[in-house]
């Protein structure tokens, strides 16, 4: 892992991907705003996920449920009782930390002997060396109040995970969409957690986005057919294996390097209260090595049974053919949009030796953001070789033909080498140069970001050319 996080943070700000939120007022910790290119990248991540999870399947449908939910949802889900982190406070400076993070950092120190048990009592405040309090549990849910008039206020929570909206709509969707088990419900949306420590850029935030899919199965076994006619599924552990493979392949197909990804199974004492089995996809980050990026969880019948119990609505499923009755089990796939976006940026950021530009404009190092074409914020840059009117006119005409299908960017400032560099740096797969010959032969030069090969393509054939090349 060559790039460090500081480089990515400053690159992301300089090139319009990610800005600290409320920056002119000094910023709000762990809140970030996605700029023009970051918003495109993040939307492309979400689009790619929805395409693979909903559009390209017959057995998963989409949902967009509310962020605000009443207290009882979180009582039923178990989050009010169990969704907490161990918090310690410095007795001198009163800064707060996660006890498990401090222990992890201590164990990662050079010279630390693995066999030595480490206790929070052995650790001092990382900010002022003061004494730390004993750990106490701190609930991560964010509470708010509904209603404007004093006395009529009602307690509500911003959802701590998007999947709860899926469980509450399980019956609505099963009935309105005539779904038969096994089937899934997928949604992308914001989640909120009052994290104690927030660091590492957009890795751990208080407001973030999740892409979650809940697959409802018969605990005694059930099958489905995949798009290519293969029989898939079986027992819960077979569905776990199936969904683990799907999720890992999604990251690999979008270009994440295999050596930077691995699986880790949760030990029984670290599993969330709802999980019978849990696996994380971890990425080898430059900020402390392997870190959780996504998860696949067997949640058993925890969620539907608890919501059935608290709402007094029957969640039993009856198999129409066999008459078998059961509360469905859930296999969950849970991915963070922001963490995935960070992972794609880290993995794609590449420094290469000077390769574009005239001798005097060459840099020692150039950045190429080798994003998968489907994720690249801008697909095609249109670069007129000169600012002379006929070239500007033709370039803008070409751009207006392409922009109904793809994100394009028009750039006429600086040398052509500089403009190529600017586009390489933000990951644009194709640069299209309009020159004086274009006025005569009605052709333009298309340059490939990765190979730097150039092809002369007729203007009338550009839409077909990019359709084939971009396939998105």
Interface with ligand GAP (CB under 6 A): 161, 163, 193, 195, 204-205, 208, 210, 212, 292-295, 332, 334-336, 338-339
Q: Judged by CB, which is closer to ligand GAP: 105, or 361? A: 105
Least gap, CB of 250 to ligand GAP (angstroms) = 13
On whether the CB atoms of residues 430 and 419 are closer than 8 A, the answer is: no
DSSP string, 311-373: HT----EE-TTT--EEPPEEEEEEEEHHHHHHHHHHHHEEEEE--SS-GGG--SEEEEE---T
Least gap, CB of 168 to ligand GAP (angstroms) = 14
Q: Judged by CB, which is closer to ligand GAP: 208, or 466? A: 208
Please confirm whether the linkage preceding 182 is cis (ω < 30° from 0): yes
Least gap, CB of 208 to ligand GAP (angstroms) = 4
Whole-number Å distance between alpha carbons of 172 and 178: 10
Least gap, CB of 457 to ligand GAP (angstroms) = 40
Least gap, CB of 274 to ligand GAP (angstroms) = 8
Least gap, CB of 195 to ligand GAP (angstroms) = 5
Q: Judged by CB, which is closer to ligand GAP: 337, or 398? A: 337
Least gap, CB of 388 to ligand GAP (angstroms) = 49
Q: Judged by CB, which is closer to ligand GAP: 39, or 459? A: 39
Hey, CA dihedral for 416, 422, 424, 428, is it positive or negative?
A: negative
Q: Judged by CB, which is closer to ligand GAP: 342, or 383? A: 342
Whole-number Å distance between alpha carbons of 22 and 2: 31
DSSP string, 47-79: HHHHIIIIIT-SSEEE----SEEEHHHHHHHTH
Q: Judged by CB, which is closer to ligand GAP: 18, or 380? A: 18
Q: Judged by CB, which is closer to ligand GAP: 212, or 435? A: 212
Instruction: Name the maximum alpha-carbon separation found in the chain.
Output: 78
The structure tokens 């600017």 sit at 422
Whole-number Å distance between alpha carbons of 87 and 84: 9
On whether the CB atoms of residues 133 and 93 are closer than 8 A, the answer is: no
């Amino acid at each position: 892992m060559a790039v460090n996080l500081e480089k990515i943070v400053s690159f992301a700000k300089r090139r319009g991907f990610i800005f600290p939120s409320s920056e002119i007022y000094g910023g709000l910790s762990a809140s970030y705003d996605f700029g023009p290119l970051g918003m495109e990248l993040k939307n492309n991540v979400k689009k790619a996920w929805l395409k693979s999870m909903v559009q390209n399947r017959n057995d998963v449908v989409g949902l967009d449920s509310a962020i605000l939910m009443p207290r009882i949802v979180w009582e039923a889900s178990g989050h009010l009782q169990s969704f907490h982190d161990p918090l310690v406070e410095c007795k001198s400076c009163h800064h707060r930390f996660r006890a498990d993070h401090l222990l992890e950092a201590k164990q990662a120190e050079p010279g630390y002997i693995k066999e030595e048990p480490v206790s929070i009592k052995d650790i001092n405040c990382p900010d002022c060396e003061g004494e730390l309090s004993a750990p106490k549990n701190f609930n991560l849910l964010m509470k708010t109040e509904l209603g404007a008039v004093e006395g009529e206020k009602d307690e509500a929570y911003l959802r701590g995970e998007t999947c709860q909206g899926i469980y509450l709509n399980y019956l609505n969707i099963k009935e309105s969409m005539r779904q038969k088990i096994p089937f899934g419900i997928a949604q992308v949306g914001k989640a909120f957690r009052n994290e104690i420590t927030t660091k590492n850029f957009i890795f751990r935030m208080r407001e973030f986005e999740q892409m979650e899919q809940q697959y409802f199965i018969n605990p005694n076994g059930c099958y489905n057919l995949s798009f290519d006619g293969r029989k898939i599924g079986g027992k819960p552990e077979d569905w776990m294996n199936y969904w683990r493979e799907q999720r890992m392949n999604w990251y690999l197909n979008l270009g994440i390097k295999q050596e930077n990804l691995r699986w880790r199974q949760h030990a029984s004492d670290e599993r969330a209260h709802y999980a019978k089995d849990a696996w994380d996809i971890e990425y080898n980050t430059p900020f402390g090595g392997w870190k959780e990026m996504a998860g696949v969880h067997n949640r058993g019948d925890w969620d539907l049974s608890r919501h059935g119990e608290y709402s007094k609505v029957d969640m039993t499923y009856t198999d129409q053919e066999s008459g078998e009755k059961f509360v469905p089990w859930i296999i969950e796939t849970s991915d963070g949009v922001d963490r995935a976006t960070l992972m794609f940026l880290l993995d794609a950021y590449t420094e290469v030796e000077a390769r574009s530009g005239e001798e005097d404009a060459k840099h020692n190092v150039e950045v190429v953001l080798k994003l998968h074409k489907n994720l690249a914020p801008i697909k095609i840059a249109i670069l007129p070789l000169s600012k002379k009117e006929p070239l500007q006119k033709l370039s803008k005409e070409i751009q207006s033909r392409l922009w109904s299908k793809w994100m394009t960017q028009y750039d006429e400032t600086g040398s052509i080498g500089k403009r190529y560099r600017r586009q390489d740096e933000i990951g644009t797969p194709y640069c299209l140069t309009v020159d004086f010959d274009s006025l005569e032969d009605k052709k333009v030069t298309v340059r490939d970001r990765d190979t730097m090969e150039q092809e002369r393509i007729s203007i009338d054939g550009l839409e077909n050319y990019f359709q084939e090349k971009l396939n998105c």
